[in-house]
Amino acid sequence: MIKLLPLAAAALAPLGAALAAESPGAKRPPNVIVIIADDLGYGDISCNGPGKIGTPNIDRLAREGLRLTAGYAPASTCTPTRYGLLTGEYAWRKRGTGILPGDAALIISPSRTTLPRVFRNAGYATAVVGKWHLGLGDGKPDFNTRVAPGPNELGFDYAFTMAATGDRVPCVYLENGKVVNLDPADPISVDYRRKVGDWPTGRENPELLRMKFNEGHADTIVNGISRIGFMTGGKAALWDDRTLSDTFNAKAREFIRGSKGRPFFLYYAAHEPHVPRDPNPRFVGKSGAGARADAVLQFDDQVARLMETLKAEGLDDNTLVILSSDNGPAAADGYADAALENERKAGHRGSGPYRGGKYTDFEGGVRMPFLARWPARIPAGRVSAEPVCLTDLVATAAALTGRPLAPSDAPDSFNILPVLTDGAKSPAPYRLFGNPGAELTASAVREGRWKLILRDAGAHSARALLRNPPADTPTPTGAPLLFDLEADPGETVNLADKHPDTVKRLTALMAESARAGFSRPGAAAAPRR
């Protein structure tokens, strides 16, 4: 049984009153499910083009709803994109919002207006299930007590998550801040600097590994896979990588079933196809294109099971389902799982027609699968090339629930409801991209047909590219790159020298937006607390 925190009951009261006061024919607000995959590229879903992985259940969402072909993540790694998703603010505006270790403190202030809080204030039941990766607690978390603040304190009534990523310790589930199945006689310790306890590590005992690493991931071995970071204890609480996805899915379905009769918001943060790719045996070898592609099939199947549950509960007509991803694909991402070789052999490219991938500001890093299905309001089979961004969901949720945002709420978020339901134009004049770095500025911008990449996505990216340069992605040079996405969606011809005025104008735009602290006209900078 899913236990809602007591706050949930109180939060539901206003909606009950509002519904009762409305005329009998008044529309019920929709349920909302935001499904975010992890490192799923534009070309990884078959409705987006000629990839070699068949994703029939995801394609069905597109057929029955809207397929956005310019749906963006605000960053090309996990933590900053999810920060932007939940706050409606670009993460590069704030220090400390880069890829987090599993023992990081929460990076979003509990006093902020967040995506779940917008829904909860409107009387929704809210839940997050899956990958968290936004930190927990207000110092180094002690996983032997309830860790707070965390998702519950940001507006989720129910949270069933991993702390960070599958390749980072601690390898345990947390339910509403508490480690699931923790035996108090076997306390957990976690450290990212030095070894704790005596569990073997990949570095010292490579012979114990069932999946080899080739970069990073040399620390504590859990389930035959070495991870980033050291842990010991909590043996009874360790997850099983091969059932991780099924476990999340079951929790999500339980939440949907338990929310019948009142509107709900579910943030379903799937972990596929991020490393380590260790899918359930029923998907191993199924794609014919390697471990990563098998994990994509597993994700597609999980989408099917969520949709089945919605249908079985009679909820699918008035549920808005959005499916996207946090950043572009990285076939090789630290484990020797041969995913890159196998995808090349199969002729699959996770970025589809786009250049680059995870860690880069090229379209392959930030242009995401982006689907929206809501039979009651979105006509089936539409396609839109209007640029939208995951940061828009906060303002869109506010519009959906009829609760206006304050200027400093979600300062980079635009209401895209008319884009979804009426085929309207994007309300945003431009979109900024970037992973947090030394300078608190974006590193790339898209405005209409133009895309300017000022510097590449930082040292992390440069290292990633040097380690494994995809054939079409030269290492960053530091010189500005200007592309005409209409004529050259693959970002192959640098027009910076030909259009210096455009480079200048867009550079000024980026600087101005960084200085102001917002990009939505009329907004204000979010308070820094």
**Contact residues for ligand NG6, defined by CB under 6 A:** 38-39, 77-78, 99, 133, 165, 167, 215-217, 228, 274-275, 327, 333-334
Helix (H, G, I), strand (E, B) or coil at 379: coil
- Identify the CA nearest to 114 among candidates 151, 81, 86: 86
Q: Which CB sits closer to ligand NG6, 338 or 524?
A: 338
Q: Choose among ligand NG6, Ca ion, none what residue 447 binds, the Cβ cut-off being 5 to 8 Å by kind.
A: none
By rule CB under 5 A, what string of x and - marks binding of each residue 411-440 to Ca ion? ------------------------------
Q: How far is the CB of 240 from ligand NG6 (least distance, A)?
A: 19
Rounded CA gap, 131 and 416, in Å? Answer: 25
Q: Which CB sits closer to Ca ion, 108 or 452?
A: 108
Q: How far is the CB of 271 from ligand NG6 (least distance, A)?
A: 9
Helix (H, G, I), strand (E, B) or coil at 67: strand
Q: Which CB sits closer to ligand NG6, 83 or 156?
A: 83
Q: Which CB sits closer to ligand NG6, 354 or 450?
A: 354
Q: How far is the CB of 78 from Ca ion (least distance, A)?
A: 4
> Cα angle at 116 between 112 and 120, to 5 degrees?
100
Q: Are 68 and 384 in contact (CB under 8 A)?
A: yes
Strands (E), 205-255: 221-222, 225-226, 230-232
From 11-19, 37-45, 392-400, 406-414, give the range in contact with Ca ion by CB under 5 A: 37-45
From 38-46, 377-385, 474-482, 520-528, give the range in contact with Ca ion by CB under 5 A: 38-46
Q: How far is the CB of 358 from Ca ion (least distance, A)?
A: 7
Site residues for Ca ion, 291-330, by CB under 5 A, read 326-327
Rounded CA gap, 420 and 426, in Å? Answer: 10
Q: Are 31 and 374 in contact (CB under 8 A)?
A: no
Q: Choose among ligand NG6, Ca ion, none what residue 120 binds, the Cβ cut-off being 5 to 8 Å by kind.
A: none
Instruction: Tell me which of 15, 39, 244, 481 binds Ca ion, using CB under 5 A.
Output: 39
Q: How far is the CB of 244 from ligand NG6 (least distance, A)?
A: 15
Q: Are 406 and 413 in contact (CB under 8 A)?
A: no
Q: Choose among Ca ion, ligand NG6, none what residue 167 binds, the Cβ cut-off being 5 to 8 Å by kind.
A: ligand NG6
Q: How far is the CB of 227 from ligand NG6 (least distance, A)?
A: 9
- Cβ atoms < 10 Å from Cβ of 380: 11
Distance between alpha carbon 62 and the CA centroid of its chain, in Å?
19
Rounded CA gap, 100 and 120, in Å? Answer: 27
Q: Which CB sits closer to ligand NG6, 51 or 357?
A: 357
The amino acid at 345: K
Q: Choose among ligand NG6, Ca ion, none what residue 271 binds, the Cβ cut-off being 5 to 8 Å by kind.
A: none
From 31-39, 41-49, 103-111, 245-253, give the range in contact with Ca ion by CB under 5 A: 31-39
Cα torsion 191, 197, 202, 208: sign: negative
From 35-43, 412-420, 450-458, 468-476, give the range in contact with Ca ion by CB under 5 A: 35-43
From 75-83, 190-198, 395-403, 480-488, give the range in contact with Ca ion by CB under 5 A: 75-83
Site residues for Ca ion, 325-354, by CB under 5 A, read 326-327
Q: How far is the CB of 327 from Ca ion (least distance, A)?
A: 5
Per the DSSP assignment, residues forming a β-bridge with 335 are 213
Q: Tell me the HSE value of 408 on the side-chain side, using a 13 A CA sphere.
A: 7
Q: Choose among ligand NG6, Ca ion, none what residue 228 binds, the Cβ cut-off being 5 to 8 Å by kind.
A: ligand NG6
Q: Choose among ligand NG6, Ca ion, none what residue 333 binds, the Cβ cut-off being 5 to 8 Å by kind.
A: ligand NG6
Instruction: Tell me which of 4, 78, 256, 307 binds Ca ion, using CB under 5 A.
Output: 78
Strands (E), 336-472: 367-368, 371-373, 382-384, 388-389, 431-433, 444-447, 450-453
Q: How far is the CB of 392 from ligand NG6 (least distance, A)?
A: 21
Q: Which CB sits closer to ligand NG6, 98 or 234?
A: 98
Q: How is residue 173 annotated by DSSP?
A: E
Phi, psi of 416 (to 5 degrees): -105, 15
| Contacts of residue 414, Cβ cutoff 8 Å, sequence gap at least 6 | 389, 392, 395, 396, 426, 427, 428, 520
Instruction: Tell me which of 38, 219, 337, 409 binds Ca ion, using CB under 5 A.
Output: 38
167 is an interface residue for Ca ion by CB under 5 A: no
Rounded CA gap, 489 and 419, in Å? Answer: 22
Q: Choose among Ca ion, ligand NG6, none what residue 275 binds, the Cβ cut-off being 5 to 8 Å by kind.
A: ligand NG6
From 22-30, 32-40, 212-220, 261-269, give the range in contact with Ca ion by CB under 5 A: 32-40
Residue the block writes with tokens 């947390």: 174
Q: How is residue 498 annotated by DSSP?
A: T
Alpha helices (H) in 198-338, listed in sequence order: 244-258, 291-312
The DSSP code sequence of 90-159 is: -GGGSTT-SSPPTTPPP-S-TTS--HHHHHHHTT-EEEEEEE--S--SSSS--TTS---SSGGGGT-SEE
Q: How far is the CB of 167 from Ca ion (least distance, A)?
A: 11
Q: Are 279 and 291 in contact (CB under 8 A)?
A: yes
| Contacts of residue 438, Cβ cutoff 8 Å, sequence gap at least 6 | none
Rounded CA gap, 110 and 472, in Å? Answer: 42
Q: How far is the CB of 325 from ligand NG6 (least distance, A)?
A: 10
Please tell me the count of residues contacting Ca ion according to CB under 5 A: 5
Q: Which CB sits closer to Ca ion, 352 or 357?
A: 357
Antiparallel, parallel or unpaired: β 189-191 and 225-226 = unpaired
Q: How far is the CB of 168 from Ca ion (least distance, A)?
A: 12
Per the DSSP assignment, residues forming a β-bridge with 446 are 431, 451
Q: Which CB sits closer to ligand NG6, 42 or 430?
A: 42
Residues that bind Ca ion (CB under 5 A): 38-39, 78, 326-327
